[in-house]
Amino acid sequence: MPRPAKHHPERGDARTRLLEAARDVIRAKGFAATSVDDLCKAAGVSKGAFFHHFETKEALGVAAAAYWAETTSAFFANAPYHRLDDPLDRLFGYVEFRKTIIDGDPAEFTCLVGTMTQEVYGSHPAIRDACAASIFGHAATLEPDIAAAMAARGIEADWTPASLARHTQAVLQGAFILAKATGGREDALDSVDHLKRYLTLLFSQPRSKGNTHDGR
């Protein structure tokens, strides 16, 4: 039985399909509850193919986290808010963009690496590290705008751009948990609104000199 093969491209077809299946199924069921057979069925691939591309299930977890980091960073890099001139506007644009993503089922808008981190941080350090790299790498992309916004407004703070960037991720991850708990999006959106309000207050609260500017 000759099967259609197309294997010169660097990344095989089955591998990508497995990674996409992992992204979807693990977000819905969690890493531990997702069996290799689940993944193979979702990807339309045999078990032999799975272990051809990934040494172990753990290795797939690591690759899935890396794939997530790749695809999401491209996704955010192409988002429209980057075209805004003011750094602070871009920061608010990011948060607003995150809000627009929160739609549909939690399995569709929540964070793969956040979910996996919480589940496997103790038992699969390799996956945990790959997830951490994704989370903190994404947070780091916010730092330049935060730093520029602070500089533009002469803000002297007892917090760093890095800590605020990571805090935004904490709020988002926590919002996802609330959304999963209720099954709805409202509490998550409310929490992101609180984050927006925090940013508004932070950047309209001159610590050093009285600078009067528009609140937004």
Partner DNA sequence: ACGGATATACCAACCGACCGGTATGTTTCA
Partner DNA sequence: TGAAACATACCGGTCGGTTGGTATATCCGT
Residues lying near its own copies in the complex (CB under 8 A) are found at: 28-33, 106-107, 114-115, 117-123, 128, 131-132, 135-136, 159, 163-164, 166-167, 169-178, 180-183, 187-188, 190-191, 193-194, 196-198, 200-202, 204-205, 212-216
Instruction: Give CB contacts under 8 A, 24+ apart, made by 49-54.
Output: 49/14, 49/18, 50/18, 52/14, 53/12, 53/14, 53/15, 53/18, 54/18
Asked if 122 touches DNA (CB under 7 A), the answer is: no
**47 in contact with DNA (CB under 7 A):** yes
Distance CA 129, CA 29 (A): 21
Among 45-53, 143-151, 159-167, 191-199, the segment contacting DNA (CB under 7 A) = 45-53
User: Closest CB to DNA among 58 and 86?
Assistant: 58
Asked if 1 is part of the footprint of DNA (rule: CB under 7 A), the reply reads yes
Residue 22 makes contact with DNA by CB under 7 A: no
Of 28, 36, 42, 101, which one interacts with DNA (CB under 7 A)?
36
Which listed range, 31-39, 129-137, 160-168, 175-183, lies at the site for DNA (CB under 7 A)?
31-39
**Quick check: 52 binds DNA (CB under 7 A)?**
yes
Which of 25, 34, 165, 202 binds DNA (CB under 7 A)? It is 34
- Judged by DSSP in three states, 111 sits in coil
Judged by CB under 7 A, the stretch of 34-42, 96-104, 124-132, 148-156 that binds DNA is: 34-42
Tell the burial category of 211 from Cβ atoms under 10 Å away from its Cβ (0-12, 13-18, 19+): exposed
Long-range (24+ apart) CB contacts under 8 A made by 205-210 are 206/153, 206/154, 206/155, 207/155, 207/156, 207/157, 208/154, 208/155, 208/156, 209/154
Q: Which lies closer to its own copies via its Cβ, residue 19 or residue 117?
A: 117
- Report yes or no: 172 and 202 within 8 Å, Cβ to Cβ: no
